[in-house]
Structure 1
Amino acid sequence: MKFQFRLAYYLFGLLLGGVFVVWFLKAKADDKGVEFCYMPNCRVLKDLRSKSLEIDSVARQALDAKWVTLEDVKMSLQYGDVDFGKSNEPYRKGKIYVIEGKTSKNEDITITMVNYTNKVLLEKIEKK
């Protein structure tokens, strides 16, 4: 068989396999609760969202000041960016994570959280 025909068969099979994989993954993604998180930022935020949240007194003062809400923190945990230069370091029997996000008024905020095995402690919220 000539090289042209072998290449055509190979590319056709590769195309069919690619279409099947995309169709299969799309069907899985349409199911409720299925989320594909393979990048480090996405995995950390998903882990922080999955645990129960406790609020420290410093963070409670920021929330009571009304310039930031708990909904802003939740949106930052969904769409924020983890600063890995300051994060993933041992801290009080957990690991500290610094997340950069935005409020509903589009102000930049920095959220510091401590990730324990069974809970997450919201330590402080700062304006940038």
Structure 2
Amino acid sequence: MSFKYRFAYYLVGFVLGSFFVAAVLTGKDTRCNYFPNARVLNDLRNKPFEYSKEASTVLAENWIDTTDIKNTLTYGDVDFDKSNIKFENGKIYIVEGKTVKNQAIELKVINYTSKAVLKEIKKK
């Protein structure tokens, strides 16, 4: 068999294989959270999120918004030296991020099995 026929068979198989892979992965909500930071943030975002009284009073001030909280839980960094501490029936995680106005903030979030609670918001 000549090279052009082998190459044609290869291309046909490659195109069909690519089609099947795309069909399988397109229908699913696939995420590749291999690193611990991404896993923790994804877990906090996908649970029902609640605000404590202390966090609600800070959110009533003008310097921070719920958009800043969502952005921090999406793009922030988990400080594992201060985090993963057992608290009641959950664990405390410290997430560092920035507001829309580029001010550094620190969130203390309690991660329970069924929900996540924002306990405290600090300026850095």
Alignment TM class, shorter chain as reference:
0.7 to 0.9
Q: Give the match for residue 121 of structure 1.
A: 117
Among residues 98, 101, 113, which one is paired with 2:97 in the alignment?
101
Among residues 51, 54, 59, which one is paired with 2:50 in the alignment?
54
Name the count of aligned residue pairs: 106
Residues 91 and 41 of structure 1: CA distance in aligned 2, closer, same or farther (over 3 Å): same
Q: Give runs of aligned pairs for residues 1-128 of structure 1, distance below 5 A.
A: 28=25, 33-128=29-124
Q: Deviation digits for residues 78-107 of structure 1, max 9, x if unmatched?
A: 000000001011012110000000000000
SS where residue 70 of structure 2 aligns?
helix
Q: Which sections of structure 1, spanning at least 5 residues, go unmatched?
A: 1-19
CA–CA distance in structure 2, aligned partners of residues 98 and 32 of structure 1: 31
Q: Give the match for residue 10 of structure 2.
A: none
Q: Which amino acid aligns with 1:50?
A: N
CA–CA distance in structure 2, aligned partners of residues 89 and 96 of structure 1: 5
CA–CA distance in structure 2, aligned partners of residues 45 and 32 of structure 1: 20
CA–CA distance in structure 1, aligned partners of residues 60 and 53 of structure 2: 10
CA–CA distance in structure 2, aligned partners of residues 55 and 78 of structure 1: 17
CA–CA distance in structure 2, aligned partners of residues 33 and 70 of structure 1: 25
1:31: Cα distance to partner? 5.5
RMSD of equivalent CA atoms = 2.0
Q: Deviation digits for residues 4-29 of structure 1, max 9, x if unmatched?
A: xxxxxxxxxxxxxxxx8xxx59x83x
CA–CA distance in structure 2, aligned partners of residues 106 and 31 of structure 1: 37
Q: Which amino acid aligns with 2:121?
A: I
Q: Which sections of structure 2, spanning at least 5 residues, go unmatched?
A: 1-16
